[in-house]
Each structure stands twice: as structure tokens, then as C-alpha cells.
Amino acid sequence: MNPLMLELLPLVRQGYCCSQLLILLMLQWRDRQNPDLVRAMHGLCHGIGQSDGPCGLLTGGACALALAAGKGADSETAHPMLTPMLNDYALWFYERVNPYGGTACGCIAAGLGAVAGGETGGAPDAAACGDLLAECWEKILELLQSYDLDVTAAS
């Protein structure tokens, strides 16, 4: 198991999903807390409520990047390269999960060997998705660095 997942395991056991975990990582990286944002990210969990929607690692990753580079107040402007950075993340993600048959949470979970149903009520197995979550976080950090964005800076 990836060392990052060992760090996140207590949060997984507390019921946080992948999209929430990516936001929690970004908030931690920025030395901030925002329970309302973490709560809102719950809407992206398990392919948007097990609707076979996009994986929360795709949507949550986009939100994490936007948290670091997007516009959040009238006095702010988004980083000028936010859109290309989001596109880079999405393209990387599409390529990474292509062998699983699509970006839907269910496709990816099945491709990673997670068993649908069971104890989690149809939600993907966090352990099966853990390494992909770690890869996504590494990609997010790589993109922030390559676009010369300081995630700890105040927006």
C-alpha cells in the first residue's frame, strides 16, 4: 500500500471518500480547514451518489486544482493557466484509467479489483482505489509545480 494511503487510512475509516480526501490533502497542504467545502465534496463521492458518474478522483482532483488556482472572491482572479492545468489533469486521468473502460467510478473500481456491493453498500473499496488516489495526488502536485503555482500562498 502506498505510504500516503497509510496516512489517509484513518480518514477512510471515518467515512471520507476519494473526492473528499483530495480536498483534505489540498487543505492540509495549504494549512487550512474548511468543513463546508469538505462536506460539499461529499456530493462527488462514489461517482456522484453511485449513479455511475465520473470517479471522484477525476472530479475531486479538478476541484483540488481549482482550490489552489481558481477565483474565490470578487477581489481575486483565477490563475491564467487554470484551464490548461485542469485539461492536463483530465487527459492524464483519462489515459491512466483507459484500461478500465472509462472514467465512471464503477468501471475504475472494477478495473482496480474492487468488489462492488458488500460491506460498503456498493461503494468502491478504498484499499483498491488507494494507489490510484496517491497517483492522482502526485499528479496534482506535479501540475502545480510545473505551472509554477505556490499552493501555500493566500488566494
90 grid coordinates: 483530465
Rounded distance, CA 45 to CA 57, Å? 9
Q: How far is CA 115 from the centre of its chain?
A: 21
Torsion angle of the four alpha carbons 84, 142, 61, 131, in this order, in degrees rounded to the nearest 10: 140
Structural contact between residues 60 and 44, judged by C-beta atoms closer than 8 angstroms: yes
Give the tens place of pLDDT for each residue, 32-67.
999 999 999 999 998 898 788 999 999 999 999 999
Q: How many CB atoms lie within 10 A of CB 48?
A: 17
Region of residue 127 (left: phi > 0; alpha: psi -120 to 50; beta: else): alpha
pLDDT band with cut points at 50, 70 and 90 for residue 114: low
Q: How many CB atoms lie within 10 A of CB 53?
A: 17
DSSP state of 116: S
* Residue 122 pLDDT: 56
Annotated domain spans of the chain: 3-146
- Average of pLDDT values for 65-87? 96
Helix axes 82-97, 126-146, angle to 10 degrees: 140
Higher per-residue confidence, 6 vs 57: 57
